Homo-oligomer: A and B are copies of this chain.
């Protein structure tokens, strides 16, 4: 199956190229699946939503492990999203989502991450760790 899959890539793509390509796929899939999901500032609720996302991304090809966390949210201390009234909740955004995904493709183990980088004003996806097996 792997060999079949490999044959669909350009023949100049190396195993290393494909490994980084796959890492990018995983992080973006996770991000776009998560964004927009309702959350509130309750640690147990946040943990269960994060666990569901982790388990889902771990179903994807080559994923060894995913870690997902959703940060508690406060904006000027004014909006606290603890369900004090029906509309008191928010959603997962690029600002409160943090995740790491570890994949293995052939003899490369890669860890990628997504988190909000204030300096970039951006939920930046990065290559955290490269391990040759």
- What is A's interface to B at a CB cutoff of 8 Å? 1-2, 4-5, 8-10, 12-13, 16-18, 20-29, 31-33, 35-40, 45, 48-53, 55-62, 79, 83, 85-87, 89, 91, 93-94, 112, 117, 119-122, 124-130
Contacts and interface: CB of A to CB of B under 8 A. Distances in A.
A57 B38 contact: yes
Nearest to A115: B8
Contacts of A26: 24, 28
Output the residue of A5, A55, A112 with the most chain B CB within 10 A: A55
Contacts of A59: 38-40, 45, 83, 89
Contacts of A17: 16-17, 20, 127, 130
- The SS class assigned to the A binding surface is mixed
A95 B82 CA distance: 20
Given A24-B21, A28-B26, A13 B48 contact: no
A124 B55 CA distance: 21
17 contacts: A1-B87, A1-B120, A2-B86, A10-B130, A13-B20, A16-B17, A25-B125, A32-B32, A32-B36, A35-B35, A35-B91, A37-B56, A38-B60, A39-B56, A39-B59, A52-B52, A62-B86
